[in-house]
Amino acid sequence: GESVGLHLPTLSVQEGDNSIINCAYSNSASDYFIWYKQESGKGPQFIIDIRSNMDKRQGQRVTVLLNKTVKHLSLQIAATQPGDSAVYFCADRSPANTGNQFYFGTGTSLTVIP
């Protein structure tokens, strides 16, 4: 079955440093990937997405890298701030999935140390 996992359940970084959160997926047919951020007491919020025809996409302070050869996805956060402390999920989707179903990883909890 589908599995989307994260390499580390927790990550602590110093404020101002860069953060890298990794994710592995198992379905080679996955064509669309999203990173979500979930703060305490809130639902997941969209951060950035990438399609399988790309290997890098940049947003404001965030970059997503996709390596389809090894089925690996990463989220890089530049100059990490205390407000970045949250749980980060990756999600992937395959055209074979019924409807628009995404599969989610278990999440990495990022703590930013002031």
Q: Closest distance between other proteins and the C-beta of residue 94, in Å?
A: 10
The Cα 74–Cα 19 span in angstroms is 10
- Show contacts with other proteins in window 5-44 (CB under 8 A): 9, 31-32, 34, 36, 41-44
Region from 15-23, 66-74, 75-83, 90-98 binding other proteins, contact rule CB under 8 A: 90-98
- Show contacts with other proteins in window 53-82 (CB under 8 A): none
Among 25, 77, 105, 110, binds other proteins (CB under 8 A): 105
